[in-house]
């Protein structure tokens, strides 16, 4: 797979700020560019220093306690948006989903959205208009919610993206989602879908995009055989290389790419990775050599976000133009 060469000063996009295609998120007093925001099933969300692993609890309980906290994104104001799949306690018969807004400076929570169609809410992204894009796994839909009016519409219905749990917007503006043994590109203007990962059998459970425009994918498939792996994949041709494959990744649950290109993986090596109790490893992986170590431990990691560095409009336009050229050169994707 051909990759553009780095000039040494690499700035890498994370899962969560890639999805903001317009305004860049503002930084808060607590969160600084490069910080990790880690969500876990214990109804807690932490700031983690990407170098030292030092942890700071940003918020807990409240709206996060009625179900499973699944995905986290950062909006243009620097607030955190967390999806919660509400399926336990008194609401088991009538499950629904919600998006919770969290002020990282104060930890205060507010309800940004809550609907029955959002049941099974997992991954979340934010489009260039500020709308919440949520994967509703139960109804096999991807929903768009206006943050002001809370009006909800179906962005993607079923198709190849029906089992999506993680999603992002690439530099071209296409929606990329994971699913059962596949990665899918959806062109939102036409609705057409392209299978990205047909060349390699994978079970993706975490996707991000690096500064070269390549996908960084957390492949859970080998974990059933004793280890998972992190792979780099061309977003148009599906050509891929393995960055890391090691038992330390255990049963992986989340992935993000830091502002310096470092890859962060949430994973457990415990016998029962689906148990609510216990701790997961937050593993730091070198994107070139695959060398890795446990940065810190947290309770049952479900998603990771990275606070972005601020980039100007010209830089974002260069990335968009590069992505479009790459798309046009792809024989299998063709020219739109």
Domain boundaries, the chain: 15-329
Q: What is the pLDDT of residues 193-247, one digit of tens each?
A: 888 987 888 888 889 999 889 999 998 875 555 568 899 999 988 899 999 887 7
- Rounded CA separation 65/183 (Å): 31
User: How far apart, in whole angstroms, are the C-alpha atoms of residue 166 and residue 252?
Assistant: 13
Longest dimension (CA), the chain: 55
Asked whether the predicted pLDDT for residue 248 surpasses 80, the reply is: no
The span from the CA of 328 to the CA of 229, in Å, is 30
Strand partners, 194: 185
Tokens of 152: 């909800």
Is 277's pLDDT higher than 90? Answer: no
pLDDT of residue 276: 62
Share of the chain above pLDDT 90, in %: 38
Query: Alpha carbon of 136 to those of 29, 102, 111, 218, 236: distances in Å?
Result: 32, 21, 17, 21, 25
Confidence label for 101 from pLDDT (cuts 50, 70 and 90)? very high
The rounded distance, in Å, linking the Cα atoms of 136 and 128 is 20
251 CB-near residues (< 8 Å, 6+ apart): 220, 223, 228, 267, 268, 269, 273
What is the pTM assigned to this prediction? Answer: 0.84
pLDDT band at 39 (very low <50, low <70, confident <90, very high): very high
Give yes or no for a contact between 235 and 197, defined as CB atoms under 8 angstroms apart: no
CA angle 2, 257, 85 (to 5 degrees): 125
Rounded mean pLDDT, 4-25: 39
What integer pLDDT is reported at residue 331 of this predicted model?
A: 58
DSSP state at residue 220: -
Nearest one of 212, 217, 213 to 245, comparing CA atoms:
217
Q: What is the mean pLDDT of the chain?
A: 81
Q: What is the pLDDT of residues 73-87, one digit of tens each?
A: 999 899 999 999 876
Which pLDDT score is estimated for 257?
A: 96
Q: Identify the helix (H) or strand (E) that includes residue 97.
A: strand 96-102
pLDDT confidence of residue 197 = 82
Q: How is residue 35 annotated by DSSP?
A: -
Query: What's the pLDDT score for residue 246?
Result: 77
* Dihedral (Cα; 131, 65, 46, 111), 10-degree rounding: 30
Q: How far is residue 281's CA from residue 297's CA, in Å, rounded to a whole number?
A: 5
CATH number of 15-329: 2.120.10.30
pLDDT, tens digit (0-9, with 9 covering 90-100), for 293-303: 999 999 889 99
pLDDT surpasses 90 at 285: yes
- Asked whether residue 158 carries a pLDDT value surpassing 70, the answer given is no
pLDDT at 231: 94
With a cut of 90, say whether residue 161 has pLDDT above it: no
What gap in Å lies between CA 178 and CA 292, rounded to an integer?
24
At residue 11, the pLDDT reads 33
Q: Once rounded to an integer, what is the mean pLDDT over residues 98-116? A: 92
pLDDT confidence of 88, banded at 50, 70, 90? low
More confident residue, 25 or 82: 82
Q: Is 147 exposed, middle or buried (CB count within 10 Å of its CB: 0-12, 13-18, 19+)?
A: middle
């Amino acid at each position: 797979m051909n990759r553009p060469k780095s000039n040494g000063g690499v700035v890498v996009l994370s899962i969560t700020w890639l999805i903001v295609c317009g305004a860049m998120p503002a930084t808060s007093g607590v969160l600084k560019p490069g910080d990790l925001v880690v969500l876990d099933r214990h109804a807690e969300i932490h700031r983690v220093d990407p170098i030292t692993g030092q942890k700071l609890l940003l918020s807990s309980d409240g709206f996060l306690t009625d179900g499973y906290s699944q995905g986290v994104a950062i909006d243009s104001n620097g607030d955190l948006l967390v999806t919660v799949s509400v399926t336990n306690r008194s609401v088991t018969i009538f499950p629904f989903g919600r998006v919770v807004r969290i002020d990282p400076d104060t930890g205060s929570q507010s309800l940004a959205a809550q609907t029955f169609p959002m049941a099974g809410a997992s991954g979340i992204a934010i489009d260039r208009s500020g709308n919440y894009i949520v994967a509703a796994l139960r109804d096999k839909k991807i929903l768009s919610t206006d943050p002001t009016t809370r009006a909800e519409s179906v962005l993607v219905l079923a198709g190849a993206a029906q089992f999506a749990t993680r999603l992002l917007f690439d530099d071209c503006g296409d929606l990329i989602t994971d699913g059962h043994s596949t990665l899918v590109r959806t062109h939102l203007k036409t609705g057409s879908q392209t299978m990205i990962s047909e060349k390699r059998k994978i079970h993706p459970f975490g996707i991000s995009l690096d500064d070269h425009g390549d996908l960084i994918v957390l492949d859970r498939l080998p974990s059933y055989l004793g280890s998972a792996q992190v792979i780099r994949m061309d977003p148009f041709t599906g050509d891929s290389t393995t960055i890391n494959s090691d038992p330390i990744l255990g049963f992986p649950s989340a992935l993000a790419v830091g502002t310096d290109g470092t890859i962060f993986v949430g994973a457990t090596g415990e016998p029962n990775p689906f148990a609510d109790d216990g701790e997961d490893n937050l593993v730091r992986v070198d994107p070139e050599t695959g060398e890795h170590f446990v940065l810190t431990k947290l309770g049952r990691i479900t998603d990771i976000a990275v606070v972005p560095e601020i980039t100007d409009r010209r830089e974002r336009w260069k990335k968009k133009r590069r992505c479009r050229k790459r798309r046009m050169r792809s024989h299998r994707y063709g020219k739109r």
